[in-house]
Amino acid sequence: MSKQLHQRIALPLLRHVLETFNAGAMTSVQACGELGLSRSRLFAIRREWLSAIRRGEAWKPSSSGGAHKAPWPEELKAFLRQVLSTRPPASFAFAASEAVRLGLAARLDRAQVRLWAISQGLSRPKPKDRPSCHTRRWQWLNVGELWQEAGNSTSCLRPRRPGGRRRGGGRRRLS
């Protein structure tokens, strides 16, 4: 359910369900099903409703939470469009820090800028697919290509000395 309770259900119906539930003629499962609420939210609404009755006030359900942040100002959006549409595009972290430095936003994270840019179609194009480093390094893509060794290439190219030892290694005899 995407809308708030007071936008989904008429107030007289909500009061009727709460009165019936409070009188014990309806179970919590039935009331939750009737209103489309969780059990905890049903009891929170019932508590608000009962306290409003005790105080003698008119009751209207409050918001249950959700996104209450104000939308970004148009100046900030224009600045981000300008910065992110340059070639090459600026990084999201740079755009966020510049917006904060210029006083367009009190606090702005690069992830917020990235998600906004994706929603506005300002995100960068995906990089071209390229073969993984394993393919580039260890496999031949075409017949006749050279193969690259990961280790020290000079150790396998140097000839061995008689006796199986390589030059420069092993023990030396002191005379």
Tokens of 131: 């073969």
Does residue 130 lie within any of the structural domains?
Answer: no
Please indicate, yes or no, if residue 173 is contained in any of the structural domains.
no
Parent domain of 91:
74-120
Task: Say if 96 falls within a structural domain.
Answer: yes
d(CA 65, CA 119): 24
Largest interatomic CA distance in the chain: 110
As for how many domains the chain has, the answer is 2
Q: Evaluate whether 104 touches 78 at the Cβ level (below 8 Å).
A: no
Q: Is residue 37 part of a domain?
A: yes
Q: Is residue 166 part of a domain?
A: no
Judgement on whether residues 49 and 81 belong to the same structural domain of the protein: no
Cis, peptide link before residue 12, omega less than 30° from 0: no
Whole-model pTM over 0.75: no
Instruction: Give the model's confidence band at 70: pLDDT under 50 very low, under 70 low, under 90 confident, else very high.
Output: confident
Tens of pLDDT, residue by residue over 120-145, are 988 776 777 776 665 555 555 666 66
Query: Is there a domain that residue 12 lies in?
Result: yes
18 and 51 housed in the same domain: yes
The pair of three-digit structure tokens given for residue 87, joined into one six-digit string:
């070639």
The answer to whether position 144 is within a domain reads no
